Amino acid sequence: MKMLNNSSVLITGGTGSFGKKFIEMIFKKYNPRRVIIYSRDEYKQYHVKNLFQKKLTEEQMSKLRFFIGDVRDKDRLYRAFKDVDYVIHAAAMKQVPACEYNPFEAIKTNIHGAQNIVDAALDRGVKKVVALSTDKAVNPINLYGGTKLVSDKLFISANAYSGQNGTVFSVVRYGNVAGSRGSVIPFFKELIERGETELPITDFRMTRFWITLEEGVELVFKALKESKGGETYISKIPSFKITDLAKAMLPGCKMKEVGIREGEKLHEVMITKDDSRMTYEYEKHYIIYPHFDWWSSGRHFTNGGKRVEDGFEYNSETNSEWLNVEDLRTALLRLNMMPFIEEHMKEIAASKE
């Protein structure tokens, strides 16, 4: 994707798991003019800078910039977006209980912040904006999901304001990324490292989609390359059972059902039945197109897609592709999440001798 060569790219909330992987991959695959990390925590920026001083060349580090700012601050966004070509919006309040307890703060960041991104991008002449969404925005049952649903709507509708040659806005959607802070993997890992032999499972029926950080970044690259305005991109990815993940991480473990937490879903849904009317299937992903007067198939449609059947739902429970225990163990090895388990199993075996 040559469009990212010699371009200026800004990522909000860029010190998180996604942001760090994005930095790594954009410098590995492309030659951007600048990559700007826009976030409000100077301590995290300090650690990210130190991390990449060991991974990037001196020339690449000279192109990596750190900009302190909050998406709530429109004036600061206007300053940061000067001469920026592409924006990836990853900043959000993401923790469900924190959003429930601090609803006004979640609205200020996830909704008002999204509106500020839209306004700054339009006024500063940004070429494309890709916003990160979540499965929780689909039929939301908690405030976090509700705010992200509104955020998605703002970015999609922003295309009506940009005009024919203005900023192109699109959305990418996925669930908990494997190994990220929001996934169950680090939680299980911590319990196992403490010597626990029983893992808590909220519900034995629970399923989730499996997507890696690399796959998440690749979906953003695809949106940057192909988007024409108003698309929601969803990767084709496998499902897994939470009980199988526990077995993969700690073979022979005991499992205790502890009950679903408030605001938690039994299964992840990425595409609803109602969305199926505007959903098209491609080789490795789906696109949900908007249903507005300003959208036209002639200008905005990406060729190569086939419309899904009416009533189609992309649900982790009814998905056609699955990872079993061995598949999950192999995937965890690729994420470097298994060596500690091998050592733990040796300790357990030694203690029984």
d(CA 276, CA 80): 38
Distance CA 196, CA 347 (A): 12
Max intra-chain CA distance, the chain: 73
Please state the separation of Cα 323 from the chain's center in Å: 20
Strands 86-89 and 168-174: unpaired
Catalytic residue of the set 21, 63, 136, 247: 136
Q: DSSP state, 314?
A: E
For residues 17 and 180, the answer to whether their CB atoms sit within 8 Å is: yes
Helix (DSSP H) and strand (DSSP E) numbers for the chain: 15, 16
Q: Residue for token digits 């600061």?
A: 76
Instruction: Give the pair of three-digit tokens for residue 225.
Output: 């390359």
Judge contact between 282 and 304, C-beta under 8 A.
Answer: yes
Residues 66, 95, 267, 227: is their CA dihedral positive or negative? Answer: negative
- Both structure tokens of 1: 């994707």
First to last CA, the chain: 57
- Cα separation, 293 vs 241, whole angstroms: 41
Per the annotation, the verdict on 82 as an active-site residue is no
Helix or strand run (H / E) with residue 162: helix 159-162
Nearest to 110 by CA among 149, 141, 79: 149
Residue 328 is encoded by which pair of tokens?
A: 């999950």
Which sequence positions are flagged as catalytic?
136
